[in-house]
Amino acid sequence: MNMFFLSIASFLLAIGLLVAVHEWGHYIVARMAGVKVLRFSVGFGRPIWLRRGGSDQTEYCLSALPLGGYVKLLDEREGEVAPSERHRAFNRAPITARIAILLAGPLMNILFAIAAYWMMYAIGVPGLQPIVGKIEPESIAARAGLRADDRILEVGDNAVATWEGAIIAIIDELLEEERIRFVLRSTDNIEKTVYLDVAGQVRELTEPGKLFSGLGMEPWSPTVAPVIGEIIPGGTAEAAALREDDKLLSVGSEVIPTWDAWVAYVQAHPGKTLDLLIERNGAQMQIDLPVLAFEQADGTVVGRIGAGPRVGADLYDKYIDEQRYGLMGALPVAIKKTWSMSALTVKMMSRIVTGDVSVKNISGPVNIAEYAGYSASMGLASFLSFLAVVSLSLGVLNLLPIPVLDGGQVLYQVAEFFKGGPLSLRAQLIGQQIGVVFLVLLMGFAFYNDLSRVFS
């Protein structure tokens, strides 16, 4: 399976699964509250698969547009209801039951994220230790006192073990502070505390792909020999019959000195076919290797082949930190991770609204599909992390007090409680119109960002 089809398949699997989880929350709580469920749909539009089941003959269907879903409940506001079933209508349920039904969808997304992180940490998540590489002169990092080979121990008040954790902590601090506190350990084992001055630069630094270049630093990477250690299924390396332990000698007329040099060459030749000379079992072979064009979050297109280097055990043990816990030990770590990522998502959304964070961070279906395919190609732990992040985003987004979203509908129920009766149809209609405008603008930004990345 090539990367395009892997991205599509992974995207459909992820969206279908997360929408089903969200709608199942509404569905199961509605049934528990005695409200009749007419339809459970994954997707919008015309059903392409439909079955009826249960005493209520609820319709379960997959619909043509796979970008959402819905649970349709019996409701007197949407049509005539037989007198014998009025007690099962949503609008007749107690306000507390209605609020529980509405909140159940986002809550299921949050619980799913906990489950995904739980499984991820039980499997084990390897990551590169947060060791600083190149520092640009006169940059924010240089002025703060960071030096090459410094190991980051803490960002703000958070201890960090990998670059993935360090990046999340840096972004979190960016949204709160004008100076970011780093605790570092130098190569001579001396600890120091430095502060990166980021005042007035939050918008620039939070643009996709701009964090490290804006700070003037790069993550450290080891010097690794150009030897294949992993073939990722679905990549062009697999299609070209490259194997583990193949040594890469040259491409065209250029010698390949290190794995990093090879990666840089591949990234610079998206869509090309490379004339690659390798050594296998002591014999040299010529291979035609196509390079896949892959679009990154910042819109730049780079080449990928779907292969990883052979890393010696000593290098792995020295620089790789694997976060792996027992089945029970992984649960509190997963809950803490879910909480921190939820808080970060809320902060990012609020700062986008105020204009402090670039709207380029809003991703549409094209970009999400690319991340889905890439994470799936990197293994189960990576794909679980992707599912958890998207599930949290879906849950948090639906809690916003926008009338067409769950949070907005909860707001209607609260208003009814204090008013002593439902809001007028006119007020509800105006709210729905405002909500639709918001979603259209949001989708507009998302598709614009996708198209900008594609055509820039």
Element (H, E) at 369: helix 365-377
Number of Cβ atoms within 10 Å of the Cβ of 319: 16
Burial (CB count within 10 angstroms: exposed 0-12, middle 13-18, buried 19+), residue 406 = buried
Q: Which two tokens stand for residue 370?
A: 């690319």
In the beta sheet, which residues pair with residue 316? none
Tell me the catalytic residues: 23
Contact by Cβ (8 Å): 156, 171: no
Closest CA to 16 of 335, 454, 402, 365: 365
Contact by Cβ (8 Å): 139, 210: no
Contact by Cβ (8 Å): 195, 181: yes
Amino acid letter, 318: K
Give the whole-angstrom CA distance, residue 173 versus residue 156. Answer: 7
Give the whole-angstrom CA distance, residue 85 versus residue 142. Answer: 71
Give the whole-angstrom CA distance, residue 414 versus residue 423. Answer: 10
Strand 254-255 vs strand 247-251: parallel, antiparallel, or unpaired? Answer: antiparallel
Distances in whole angstroms, Cα of residue 24 to Cα of each of 105, 213, 297: 7, 43, 31
In the beta sheet, which residues pair with residue 197? 179
Give the whole-angstrom CA distance, residue 57 versus residue 339. Answer: 39
Contact by Cβ (8 Å): 224, 315: yes
Indicate the length of the chain as a whole number. Answer: 456
Give the whole-angstrom CA distance, residue 90 versus residue 136. Answer: 61
195-200: long-range contacts at Cβ-Cβ below 8 A with a sequence spacing of 24 or more?
Answer: 195/144, 196/140, 196/141, 196/144, 196/146, 197/140, 197/143, 197/144, 198/140, 198/174
| Tokens 């998206």, residue located | 270
- Rounded to a whole number of angstroms, the CA Rg of the chain reads 26
Amino acid letter, 205: L
- Rounded to 5 degrees, φ, ψ at 256 are -105, 100
